[in-house]
Amino acid sequence: MDMKTAGLMYRLALMVAMLPISVSAATHGDVSSQDKASPMTRAEVTRIIANSRRIVSPNGIETLVKVPINGTDQWLSIRGKNRRNPILLVLHGGPASPSMPSDYTYQSPWEDYFTVVQWDQRGAGKTYAANTEQKMAPGMTIEGMTDDAAQVVQYLREHYGKQKIFLMGHSWGTVLGTRLAQQHPEWFYAYIGVGQVVNVRRNEEVGYDFALSSAKSSGNANAIKELQAIAPYPGTAPINLERLGVRSKWEMYYGGLTYGRQNYAYESDVEQLSPEYSQQELDAINKGSVFTIGHLAAPLLSVNFDDVTQFGCPVILFVGAHDETTSHELAEQWFDKLHAPSKRLVIFADSAHMVMQEQPGRFLMHLVTDALPLAQASGDASPAEVTRH
C-alpha cells in the first residue's frame, strides 16, 4: 500500500508523506526565463505567504506562543483582526494531524470575525518537535488530552479576559471537543463539531462497506482484493495499522475523505509551504503520528457517543454530505437525538470530510450566521459594521 496517498484524519493509519520541497516558478504556469533560472527557495515562498497574511489592524493579534500545559510545551497560533471578537479554538484531527500548517489556505477570512486559535496537540507537529517522547507519553490518553484541551481553554479565557469561547473540533478533535463540552458547558458559546465522531467501531464498518461497494460498482479488482483480504472488518481481530490503511486508502480513493478527489496531495503539498512551520517541524508531523498511533489506537476504537446526547451549551454540526471518513449518516442520526439549549445541523452538499477546504466560502458563511450571533447576544463581539458603498 502506498502510504503517500493516505490522509491524516482521525483514522489512525493515515500519515502524510513529507516530501522535500524545491518550489520553482516553473511549476506555476507561464514564467519568464529569468524565473525559470532562479527557483524560489522554501524560505522565500514562506516569507511571501507570511507577509500577505500579516495582520496590521491596530487592535489585531498575530502570535505564535508556546504554553506550558501539563508538563509539556504546547504551541498555539493566535490570529485575529480585532481582540474584541470571540475566540474560536480549533481542535485538529488525526490524532496528530495539525491543521496549523495548512490553515493559511482558508482561515484568513475567519479572522475578520473571530480570534482563531490553532493548537498543536500533544504528539502533533510543533508540539511534538518541542518535547521529548518521554515527556509527552504520560498524558497520551484520551483523558489526558482532554485535560490538555481544558488547560488551553483556561489559558485563553484568562489571558484574553473571555468568559466564554467557541470550541470547534474536527474529526479526532470532536472526540476531545465532545468530552470537554460535556465537562464544562459554561465555558463555551457553542460546541461546533466538523466531521463528528460518534461510534468509532460502527464508523469503521460503514466506511469499509462504502469502500467495498464502490470498488465493486467500478469493477476495481485490485481494490476488491485488498478490501476482502481484511474482511470481516473491523471484526474482532486487532485493527492494526495495515488493516486501517487498506480501508482508509480505498475510502479516500472513492471520495469519502475529499469529495471528487482520490488522494490527499492537495493538503500535504500546501503544508510544505507553511509560514508557521520550520522544515524540522514539518518532518515532525509523521514522527508524531507514529508516536501517537502507538498510544491511542486501542482506546480510540472504544469511543462511543451514541448515548451522549445531553449538552449544556449550544451545539452546531457541520457535516459533509459525502463524508465516509467519519460517517455523515451516523452524525446526522446522532444530531436528531441531541438535547441542547439550541442545536443546528448544516449539511455541505459538495463536501466529504474536509469541509473547510472543500467549501470554504459556505463554511465561513455558516460560522458567521449560525455561530457568531451566540456571542453577539452576550456582547462579546465587535459591534456591527456599517456597510459603505
In a domain, 382, yes or no: no
Per residue in 123-139, pLDDT (tens digit) is 999 999 999 999 999 99
In a domain, 24, yes or no: no
Strand partners, 199: 304
Buried b (16+ CB within 10 A) or exposed e, 190-214: bbbbbbbbbbbeebbbbbbbbbbeb
Mean pLDDT of the chain: 89
Q: Is the pTM of this model over 0.85?
A: yes
Residue 13 has pLDDT above 50, yes or no: no
Residue 305 has pLDDT above 80, yes or no: yes
In a domain, 49, yes or no: no
Residue 382 pLDDT level (bands cut at 50, 70, 90): low
- The confidence score (pLDDT) of residue 57 equals 95
In a domain, 43, yes or no: no
Average pLDDT score over residue span 241-246? 87
Whether 186 and 214 have beta carbons less than 8 Å apart is answered as: no
Measured CA to CA, the distance from residue 131 to residue 135 in angstroms comes to 6
User: Percent of the chain, pLDDT > 70?
Assistant: 87
- The confidence score (pLDDT) of residue 35 equals 52
- The confidence score (pLDDT) of residue 376 equals 84
In a domain, 244, yes or no: yes
In a domain, 177, yes or no: yes
Listed residue (219, 224, 241, 210) closest to 352, CA to CA: 210
- The confidence score (pLDDT) of residue 379 equals 64
Per residue in 209-232, pLDDT (tens digit) is 999 999 999 999 999 999 999 999
Average pLDDT score over residue span 265-292? 95
Per residue in 67-84, pLDDT (tens digit) is 999 999 999 999 999 999
Domain that holds residue 148: 54-376
Residue 12 has pLDDT above 50, yes or no: no
- The confidence score (pLDDT) of residue 377 equals 76
Residue 61 has pLDDT above 80, yes or no: yes
Rg for the chain, CA atoms, rounded: 21
Number of structural domains in the chain: 1
- The confidence score (pLDDT) of residue 388 equals 33
In a domain, 14, yes or no: no
Q: Which DSSP string do the residues of 257-302 spell out, in sequence order? A: SSTT-SSSHHHHHHHTT-TT--HHHHHHHHHHHHHHHHHHHHHHTT
- The confidence score (pLDDT) of residue 380 equals 63
In a domain, 29, yes or no: no
Of 182 and 16, the one with more pLDDT: 182
- The confidence score (pLDDT) of residue 276 equals 96
Of 175 and 4, the one with more pLDDT: 175
**Domain containing 169 — which CATH number?**
3.40.50.1820
Average pLDDT score over residue span 4-28? 35
Of 202 and 35, the one with more pLDDT: 202
Cα 195 to Cα 69, 92, 318, distances in angstroms: 26, 11, 7
- The confidence score (pLDDT) of residue 2 equals 41
